[in-house]
C-alpha cells in the first residue's frame, strides 16, 4: 500500500489566490506576458519569470536565473503573499478541461512507491 501523508504547504493567502494563479509562462506571447506582469504584482509569473523587474535577461536553468527565482519566491513569502500552513494538510484539486473533470489529491508520497509502480506514473 502506498504511503500518503499530509504536508505543510506554502500557498497564497485566500484573498490573493485568484491574483497569484496563472497558466504556464509558455502560454503567453511577449505582449500578454508583459501586460500580466505589469498589471498584477501578485502573479506567480513574477516568480517564474524573474527577469521582468530588472530587465536583465538570464538563461533558463542557469544559476543566475535560479537565484532570481529563489529571491522572488522569498519576497512573496516575506510580503505574506504566500503563507505556510500551521499544520500538515491534504489538498484536493479539481480541474475541468474540454468537458472532462479531473479530481486529485496533493500530498507527500514515498519516492520508492513511485519508482516501484505502487503509485501510478503519469
Would strands 82-84 and 10-12 be described as parallel, antiparallel, or unpaired?
antiparallel
Q: Decide if 50 contacts 69 (C-beta within 8 A).
A: yes
d(CA 115, CA 87): 28
* 86-116 pLDDT, tens digit each: 999 999 999 898 999 999 999 999 999 999 9
Residues 23-51 have a mean pLDDT of 90
Q: How far apart are CA 81 and CA 64, in angstroms?
A: 24
pLDDT in tens, 73-85: 999 999 999 999 9
Decide: 82 and 11 in contact? Cβ < 8 Å: yes
- What share of the chain in percent tops pLDDT 90? 75
Task: Identify the DSSP state of 86.
Answer: S
Residue 11, pLDDT score: 94
Amino acid at each position: 500500500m502506498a504511503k500518503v501523508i499530509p504536508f505543510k504547504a506554502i500557498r497564497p493567502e485566500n484573498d490573493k489566490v485568484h491574483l497569484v494563479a496563472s497558466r504556464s509562462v509558455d502560454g503567453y506571447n511577449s505582449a500578454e506576458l508583459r501586460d500580466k506582469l505589469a498589471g498584477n504584482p501578485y502573479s506567480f509569473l513574477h516568480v517564474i519569470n524573474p527577469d521582468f523587474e530588472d530587465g536583465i535577461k538570464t538563461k533558463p536553468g542557469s544559476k543566475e536565473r535560479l537565484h532570481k527565482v529563489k529571491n522572488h519566491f522569498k519576497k512573496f513569502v516575506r510580503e505574506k503573499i504566500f503563507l505556510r500552513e500551521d499544520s500538515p494538510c491534504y489538498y484536493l484539486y479539481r480541474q475541468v478541461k474540454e468537458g472532462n473533470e479531473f479530481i486529485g489529491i496533493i500530498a507527500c508520497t514515498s519516492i520508492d512507491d513511485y519508482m516501484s509502480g505502487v503509485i501510478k506514473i503519469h
